[in-house]
Amino acid sequence: MLNQVLKIADEAGALLLEKKKIIKKLKPSYKKNEGLVSEADLQSEELVRTRLSKLTPGYFILGEEDSSVNKQNFQLAKEADWVWHVDPLDGTNNFLNNWDYYAVSIALTYKNELRLGVVYAPEKQEFYFAEKGKGAFLKVPGKAKQQLLAKNHAKKDFDRSFFVTCLNSLGGKNKKKLDVFFKVNNEALSVRRVGAAALDLCLTARGVFDGFWEHGLKPWDINAGALVCKEAGLKVSDFWGEKYHPYTETIVAVQKHLADQLYQLIEPSFPSRP
């Protein structure tokens, strides 16, 4: 099944590249507290949804754009056995501003357990993928696939570490997220806010970043990247160090030796689960 999903992600990526050629003609709309949506997002999701429906008839598909309209989809997904989590264009704002930091993200869960994840960055033709128990990999056309292994990354002290987060606004009302951002930024070498969680997670698995944290993202944003990180050997959890769940509101993906210090910086702002 992995190869078929990689092909679907490739098709969706090709569609996005074509849409980018007419980017000035795209007319985005604004989803309250959730950001922008464009014709590119909608057509990419329709393509992925159609292909996945043919590949796995009867599996539930939790897609970002459809679920922004059909709010009951979250509960239906939680109750289903096999569920696809689809972000057809992670990093819409980047895409619409002609920046290449965006991706297609597709994850599969069985009874709320991550089984497969694919993240495709079309502009760089980078495929990140993982299957439960089979490792995490990066594949670029024309090159052998590269296994992503956290144990091969440089083991830095916290004050020399490079972190990334989304700092999504949640309607601009969550000061706690800013508090954590400033604390980590003060303790680490640096923090980046780049605007596409799926890629942030994959680059963490690749060793570009040493850790990622965020609150308030959706399953389609992070589940594929979370599995890539987990299979690469990173610590993947919620804000309190507990097992990651596909419908969690918080996520940490970090080099294991940095995890406790990151939890300590998060804890004063998020002392308990919401």
Residue 274 lies in a domain: no
Q: What is the 8-class DSSP label of residue 243?
A: B
How many whole angstroms separate alpha carbon 36 and alpha carbon 23? Answer: 14
Domains in the chain: how many in total? 2
Q: Which portions of the chain are predicted below pLDDT 50?
A: 33
Amino acid of residue 51: R
- The pLDDT assigned to 39 comes to 85
The answer to whether the CB of 263 falls within 8 A of the CB of 249 is no
Domain coverage including residue 170: 151-266
Residue 91 lies in a domain: yes
Residue with tokens 């994850």: 107
Instruction: Tell me, yes or no, whether 131 and 250 share the same domain.
Output: no
The answer to whether the CB of 19 falls within 8 A of the CB of 137 is no
The tokens of 240 are what?
Answer: 């309190």
How many whole angstroms separate alpha carbon 123 and alpha carbon 101? Answer: 8
Residue 128 lies in a domain: yes
Instruction: Tell me, yes or no, whether 165 and 56 share the same domain.
Output: no
